[in-house]
Structure 1
């Protein structure tokens, strides 16, 4: 056990040494900040989101890049780092090191195997905590931003800041109505939320649900926007009518059935009435349930009505060829796909999950299903189909309403919040 502990400690030190080397190289090439300019801060971003990347990571990554380019010292810590991902590459090229917290990837297989008999002492989370603790001790950030895929999965990492006496904020990208902190961890999670300098959510729904689940108010909570991947003035011409008269809908979401509910949509399409109508749905995105969804398509016999297009970086190109967005999500924050579709001038047909109804107005900018069920999605799609000739007008209104509330640069706006809190913490 002592040998395993030593190997783990050595590994963590190597990680920090590499990080410090990256910082030194970056600083030696950068232009010194003028003494009359805004004071420089040290900011850490910690992402607890699993997987190589997800839409829930766009805000912290965009803000980290914005602050790095503004001359601040920024370091990111993330589980499961893909060194080739364009966001990771951009951050490192700008001078923001990205350290991997996932022991399954970062630790040697030999060391992981040696630690397996000691799961009680060295779980995956504990190793991630150890790596993060050493990184934060080296950086001594004025503020740490804990970005969570949900509303509790980052608390185990925020606890490191709490233990070290470092100022931190929480950013929650989603909340699930049936998932609460385990009983034995409830008080710890409550303490993490209470001692955060600020608790940020991407929808009012998620903020209120988190307060209910924790049984306490969060007076230091705020709602912020995620960045998007289409131009702000991105309203596109309506797609030309297809020769066969088919209307094309896009379901832009991670292929993850528990959250995104694509299975509900397939069951709707399998009904005889939809088989007879000229409607086609394209699934954009990747995820762990792709094989399962393809199997459902074959089982239900809806191959002619559905296609899979994978991940597409050029989101505007999707909306040049599709008439509307359809999202049968069971759980959400406030999806990027909705903002991007509306800014592009496309109506949406979506389940009332998360903050969907905070932007999508039923019968004005799209069609809101009462719940994430097959029956409710069928009812909303039926209403949309009956008024399909009015979709261009709904799309134009969607773009107008979105531009009235969505910030042009969400990362810069959030960066302003972060700097204000860092200034407050340093004072």
Structure 2
């Protein structure tokens, strides 16, 4: 079977959302199938695809649309997906936000013209991700014709069906963890200073790091002994540095950049602060829970399905800074419980992510047709 995969994620050399399609592609290659992936140029050049190349996988690179290519694409004169079309996949699987298969018109035409199976992996959803009647109707028809739609959380699945007012062929599977830990990490040795960490793209529209900084900017919080390290990369790095200065948090908050080794992060940090506005199921949350760390999260995507309030961490009902501050306050007042909650978080994550996820993913996508 010839399987084509299209990731619509851009502007990053790698992202947690790419782990699911990579897991599926690797399993398919091990089973003797042919797999070609079409990814944006930074991801095509990533070292994360070394094993995929070694197994015989094919990589096609493409670039985001610019002013010129947008015009030619809108007129039907150009498509970035010609290489994959010539490769002649029998099954096509896309991975990304729900509306991109319609908004990128060359991708939309490619998918509509494809006569084989179509599978969609939805990596994150929010109220604003699907908008306008024409978009809803086009996506409804496209997704109804899918062999399967994979959502990484029940929240995302229910929202997508409401947005498109349609019952869809959805399966729910969690995002995988890159390295599965068999035991939580030891609790950090420094017990005097609380060390918060946030792991996620520097992209405040979805990750809301600026709102976390606002929540921590009060005189009361400045009188406490804590640090916050922000791990990641992305377009809002300069803005976040400015926000840190604006709130006078230069001696408290550090932008640490991207760190692939999640265990290296969590051996020195006590609790994860992940106050997102839009999520699927954050790989960064799964990783911190496997390390035995509680978290403060917002009720977004699958994060609150995985993490149980007051058991594995603390759930904020919204991303307004005042509401985030209330959740942070609850966490602070329960600091003595964090090691116990971290242990519970490890067991919860270990139960949530099935060990046979590659096999489940393969069969869900191929539906015994591969």
Answer yes or no: same fold by TM over 0.5.
yes
User: Please, what is the CA RMSD of the aligned residues?
Assistant: 2.1
Does structure 1 residue 80 correspond to structure 2 residue 41? Answer: yes
Name 1:122's counterpart in structure 2.
73
Residues 155-212 of structure 1, C-alpha deviation per residue, up to 9 Å, x if partnerless?
A: 4425413313121111101112123243333322111011011111011111111111
Match of 2:10 among 46, 50, 57: 50
1:267 shift after superposition: 0.6
TM-score (norm 2): 0.93
- Displacement of 1:133: 4.1
Cα distance in 2 for residues equivalent to 1:279 and 1:371: 23
Matched-pair contact (CA < 8 Å) for 1:59–1:226:
yes
Aligned pair 1:198/2:148, yes or no?
Answer: yes
Could you say if the C-alpha distance between residues 257 and 386 of structure 1 is closer, same or farther in structure 2, counting changes exceeding 3 Å? same
Deviations 1:255-307 (A, max 9, x none): 10000000111111110011011111100000100000001101111011111
Contact 2:171 2:364 in 1 (8 A): no
Alignment of 1:129-140 (within 5 A): 130-136=79-85, 138-140=86-88
Larger radius of gyration: 1
Alignment-derived partner of residue 117 in structure 2: 167
Match of 2:279 among 323, 332, 339: 332
| Structure 2 contact 314–330 (Cα < 8 Å) conserved | yes
Q: Specify the SS of the correspondent of 2:288.
A: helix
Q: How does 1:338-349 map to 2 (within 5 A)?
A: 338-349=285-296
Aligned length: 366
Map 1:236-251 onto structure 2 (within 5 A): 236-242=185-191, 245-251=192-198
| Contact 2:4/2:84 (<8 A) preserved | no
Instruction: Write out per-residue CA displacement over residues 109-147 of structure 1, whole angstroms, 9 at most, x where no aligned residue.
Output: xxx8xx93x8544349974xx3424423x3332311111
Taking the TM superposition and a 5 Å limit, the aligned residue runs for 1:284-295 are 284-295=231-242
The aligned counterpart of 1:415 is 362
Structure 2: stretches of 5+ with no match in the other structure: none
Is this contact kept in 2: 1:251–1:327, CA < 8 A? yes
1:221-253 superposed Cα distances (whole Å, 9 cap, x missing partner): 1111111134241411111134xx101111001
Q: Secondary structure of the equivalent of 1:321?
A: coil
What do the CA deviations read for 1:359-387 (whole angstroms, capped 9, x no partner)?
Answer: 11110010001111111111111111111
User: Residue 94 of structure 2 corresponds to which residue in structure 1?
Assistant: 146
Residue number among 322, 341, 354 corresponding to 1:394 in the alignment? 341
Structure 1 CA distance, aligned partners of 2:120 and 2:187? 40
- Per the alignment, in what secondary structure is the counterpart of residue 154 of structure 1? helix
CA contact (8 A) 2:8 2:40 kept: yes
8 A Cα contact 1:232 1:408, kept in partner: no
Q: Which blocks of at least 5 consecutive residues in structure 1 are unaligned? A: 1-40, 105-111
Q: 1:126 to 1:172 in 2, by over 3 A?
A: farther
Choose from 204, 208, 228 the match for 2:158.
208
Give the whole-Å Cα distance in 2 for the aligned partners of 1:83 and 1:121.
24
Gap change, CA 1:184 and 1:223, over 3 Å in 2: same
Would the aligned equivalents of 2:98 and 2:129 in 1 still touch at CA under 8 Å? no
Could you tell which deviates more after superposition, 402-411 or 71-80? 402-411
Contact 2:297 2:304 in 1 (8 A): no
Query: Where does residue 167 of structure 2 map in the other structure?
Result: 217
Seen in structure 2, the aligned counterparts of structure 1 residues 103 and 381 have a Cα distance that, compared at 3 Å, is closer
> SS of the residue aligned with 1:309?
strand
Mapped contact 2:99–2:129 kept (Cα < 8 A)? no
The structure that is helix-richer by fraction is: 1
Measure how far apart 1:79 and its partner are.
2.5
Name the CA distance, whole Å, in 1 between partners of 2:199 and 2:42.
23
In the superposition, relative to structure 1, how do residues 82 and 198 fare at CA in structure 2: closer, same or farther (>3 Å)?
Answer: closer
Q: Within 5 Å, which residues of 2 pair with 1:96-107?
A: 96-102=57-63
* 1:353 Cα offset (Å): 1.1
Q: Distance in 1 between matches of 2:353 and 2:287?
A: 10
**Cα distance in structure 2, aligned partners of 1:409 and 1:226:** 12
